[in-house]
Structure formats: structure tokens, C-alpha cells
Structure 1
Amino acid sequence: MRLLREAYKFLVEKLDVDAVVLVDGGTDILMRGDEYGLGTPEEDMASLAAVYGLEGLAEKLVVSVGFGVDAYHGVNHSLVLENLAALEREGAYLGALSIPRDSREGALYLDAVAYAQSAVPEHPSIVNGSIAAAVRGDFGNVRFTPRTANSELFINPLMAMYFAVDLDALARRSLYLDRLEGTTLMRQISSVIEVFRGEVTKVRMPRQYPH
């Protein structure tokens, strides 16, 4: 994380940046740490901690796209909604938007995903493939790669929505982000998270979305 912050700092100063937007393909960046499942948080938390420690930026935002994708890594999305509601109470939830399929942005995104899939047909991104399928209007157990052959997907319009939150407020809600200070390697971050999880005495259990 320390080296990542230095890299961000260099870019901010070199390019005279006044805003940073972290985009997570999925929702695990929105986890506090006491949820039953955290997904795959290492890279997300490294970036969140790195940018949280930067000074002099006018805007720092986190955008989550691909609602539901992380269910296959243990994230419960009722808890994601609970976390967004808590951010709303703090004035830190900034709303949601979707990119229409026939917009220029939507068309360019679909083209980019198709190009990436053709470049690495043996290992296409499941996250981007799911989001692209949702942008196209696909629904349910959509197949776009053999990598998901043993899973039942639930492609739906929520996957194509962007949820935006204030980065600093999100970072302050994390229960372990401060422990990442001083880490350098990804395995160190994994170890920090593992130790923290072993200390959690009250886990927020998964709940079924009622509607």
C-alpha cells in the first residue's frame, strides 16, 4: 500500500490532478470488514487506503459497478445495501446512475469488453462480461465464457448501475483500513485482513434480499 500511495502521489503532482475516482468492478470495496464475507478485498482496500492518505485533492470518490457479481465470492448484497444506507445517513452516498446501451459511453464500453474478450479468449473477465451482458439487456443465467460453467449467474439491470460514494467517508467506516499502513506486498495485506478477521467477535450474517 505504501508504494501504491507514492505512485498515486506522483501522478497527482505530475498531472496536476484535482480529483481521483476509484472504480470497483463489484461491491467488495464497500465492505466494512465485519460482514460474513468480504469477497476479494486486497486490491480494493490497498487503493482505498492509498488514496485516503493523499492530501490536496478537491474530490475523492469511489464508484462501484457490477452489483451482485461478488456473490460468488461470498459477498451478501443485503449487507451492501445496508452499508450504502449508513453512508447515506452520513451524507456520503452520492447516488446511482446507469449507462444506456445506445449511449456513446455504453457502446464504447461494450466494444472495449468485446475486444478484451477476443484478445484473451481463454481467460475473459467474468466481471466485465457480466456487466456488459447487463448493459446489453441480457437477464438470468447468461453464458459468455466456459469459466462460469459450474456457476449459475444472475445477470440483471442492477449490474449495469454505478453506485457512487465519498471516498474519505467510506475509508473512515472501514474497521481495519488503518492496519494496512506500512504494508508493501499484497500478501502482507492478505495477512493483515486474515488477522483482523480472526479478531472479529460479532459477524454481520448474510440476509436474503426480501423482494
Structure 2
Amino acid sequence: MSAFFEPQLRTRLRAAERILIAGAGGGFDVYAGLPLALALRAAGHQVHLANLSFSHLYGLPDEVWQAPDLARIRSDTVTRDSYFPELALARWLRLHGMPDTVWAFASVGVQPLRAAYQALIDHLGIDAVVLVDGGTDILLRGDEAGLGTPEEDMASLAAVAGLEGLTERLVTCLGFGIDAYHGVNHALVLENLAALTRTGDYLGAFSLPADSRESRLYLDAVAHARQATPDHPSIVQGSVAAALRGEFGDVRFTARTRGSELFINPLMTLYFTVTVSGLAARNLYLDRLEQTVLMRQISTRIEEFRDELPRQRPPRAYPH
């Protein structure tokens, strides 16, 4: 039975000794897991950070490669890539006296990505994996009018869904509403969460306390990342950070959102958590991705699935 005053995410991870928090969708998704990592470390868990990477990993020196498609990024890793969220985070961790390794998964299909996950789990002795999505498009099942940017999220979900021997496999999302920028209808996200509630796979939501140590460090990390990648700051993490500061409405924090209207609000500071198994079971096309090797194969198979749909679930207006 769930404890009334304790998020189920915490309850599910209580017995885990070594936890991997992994950004599911690439880019700066791993930053959405940073407050969780800090809190879990403070509670006595061994926590490791990883991310599906958008950077040019294959130009890195041989010594960073732990396994095919799996690179160990540290604060002193040498690269010519100006966009490297994993390296930015590793350098921030070192500035704060924390372990400065951030594991980077190559942007590949399900089969090699799962092998890379398994290699990391075996190397670190991981017993629980938490996939973290910046935004909530990982919660879409495939027949919605807009899917956001599903390829990396679905590669990660399918890869982790096929792993065995873990005590827990969870998905948590931070940044409700942000994916409207990419065409996601959030009334349909809530409908999907309701369906996961019926099967016992929705584990509830809780907010980042704005005055907590974890939130203060998260805000500092986001600001540091923005300085590290001034030409491509994260819209997702910038939105969550703005919401944590109490800003509201059409807040301008990057020229990347020029021409669109944002709606920064307190719901963006909520973590929504579901089980990997329940989310994977409800996805309508995940089985089609199982044998993929390349990320572009995932894109093609999603497009093929969408072309075969007799109809899409239309957007719904949130009535309140």
C-alpha cells in the first residue's frame, strides 16, 4: 500500500542500492533527472547519470568507450563539438565537488541501445533504471494528432522495456505543457495517464520544492548549461527553471522561441511517474521498433504506423 505523504517514485526506489537515471529523449533530458539524482544521493543511494546523446560521439578518443555505443564523459573529455550537454553537466558536477561522470548512449536503434544499457548495468551493478523525459511526449501511445519528437523517447523506452534482472524500471516526466511547442495536446496526455491509473501503472505526481537544495542546484546547472551552449539553450529546461522561479505566461528566455507564445506555469515543475512495463504495453507501435539498429529506422517505422491509422485521436481543449 502506498504511503500517503510519500511519492510512489520514492517508495519504489527505496530498496534500490544503485540507480541509473537516464535522459530518454536526448539533448538536455538528463538535466530533468538531476534533482532526483541529488535527492537520492542524499538519501544514501548510489546514483549514476546517463543520457541518449545528440552529440558527435564517434569522434571521441578510444579511452572513453566502455562498450559499443556507450561513452564515459567526464569533465576533462576532449571534443570539438560545441553542443555537448553531457560534457556540460559533467563540468558542472565537478564544479560542485560531485562525481563527474555522465554516461552517453549513441543515437542508435533499439537493439544496439539495449545492448549499451545492458553493458552499463553490468558494469555498474545497477538494480533500478529511471528514464527521464523533459516534457511529456513519452507518454503518448501513437494515435494522437501530434506526437512531439518521439524517436529518441521510444528508442529508450523499448530498449529499457526489454531489459531483465532489474528491481525497478520507471519513467518520470518533468515539464508538463512544454511539448505544446512541438504540437502535443496535453488533454490527451492526461487521458493516457488516466488509462495508466486503471492498470496501476501511473504512480502519481509531485512537485519540485522551489526552496529545496535540489531545486537551487538544478537552477544553477541550467544556467551553467546555457552559458556552455549559448547558441542552442534548452527550451525544456529553461521553461522548467522559469516556472521554478515563479514566472508565468509568455516568458522570454531564449531567441529559439521567437514567434511562438509560451505558457510558463507551476504545472511544469511536476514529476509524473509511470512504470516502464505499463507504458510500453499501451504503446501502439513499440513492437515495430524492436529490431531496429539505426535511429532513422525508428523514424520510418513510426511514419509507416501513422500512415496506416484509420483515424487519429483529435486534439481536445482542456476545459478549465
What TM-score range do you get, normalising by the shorter chain?
A: over 0.9
The equivalent residue for 2:184 is 75
The equivalent residue for 2:122 is 13
- Which protein has greater RCO, CA pairs closer than 8 Å, 6+ apart? 1
Alpha-carbon distance in 2 for matches of 1:2, 1:58: 22
Alpha-carbon distance in 2 for matches of 1:120, 1:59: 34
The equivalent residue for 2:166 is 57
Alpha-carbon distance in 1 for matches of 2:159, 2:174: 20
Give 1:134 deviation, angstroms: 0.7
Aligned pair count reads 211
The equivalent residue for 2:282 is 173
Alpha-carbon distance in 2 for matches of 1:100, 1:181: 38
Any residues of structure 2 matched to 1:134-173 within 5 Å, and which? 134-173=243-282
The equivalent residue for 2:307 is 198
Give 1:101 deviation, angstroms: 1.7
The equivalent residue for 2:223 is 114
The equivalent residue for 2:196 is 87
Letter in 1 for 2:194: A
The equivalent residue for 1:97 is 206
Identity of aligned residues (%): 70
Alpha-carbon distance in 1 for matches of 2:151, 2:160: 14
SS at structure 2 position matched to 1:164 = strand
Give 1:202 deviation, angstroms: 2.5
Extract unaligned runs of 5+ from structure 1.
none
Letter in 1 for 2:288: R
SS at structure 2 position matched to 1:86 = helix
Give 1:103 deviation, angstroms: 0.2
Alpha-carbon distance in 1 for matches of 2:287, 2:280: 9
Alpha-carbon distance in 2 for matches of 1:124, 1:142: 15
Give 1:181 deviation, angstroms: 1.1
So what's the TM-score if we normalise by structure 2?
A: 0.65
Alpha-carbon distance in 2 for matches of 1:185, 1:69: 27
Superposed CA RMSD: 0.7
The equivalent residue for 2:51 is none
Give 1:198 deviation, angstroms: 0.3
1:26 and 2:139 matched: no
Alpha-carbon distance in 1 for matches of 2:150, 2:241: 22
Alpha-carbon distance in 2 for matches of 1:184, 1:26: 25
Letter in 1 for 2:295: M
Give 1:83 deviation, angstroms: 0.2
Alpha-carbon distance in 2 for matches of 1:44, 1:137: 29
Give 1:172 deviation, angstroms: 0.4
Letter in 2 for 1:189: I
Which 4+ stretches in 1 moved above 4 angstroms? Answer: none
Alpha-carbon distance in 2 for matches of 1:193, 1:109: 34
Alpha-carbon distance in 2 for matches of 1:165, 1:200: 26
Give 1:121 deviation, angstroms: 1.4
Give 1:171 deviation, angstroms: 0.3
Give 1:11 deviation, angstroms: 1.1
Alpha-carbon distance in 1 for matches of 2:299, 2:264: 30
The equivalent residue for 2:175 is 66
Letter in 1 for 2:198: R
The equivalent residue for 1:186 is 295
Alpha-carbon distance in 2 for matches of 1:9, 1:90: 28
Extract unaligned runs of 5+ from structure 2.
1-109
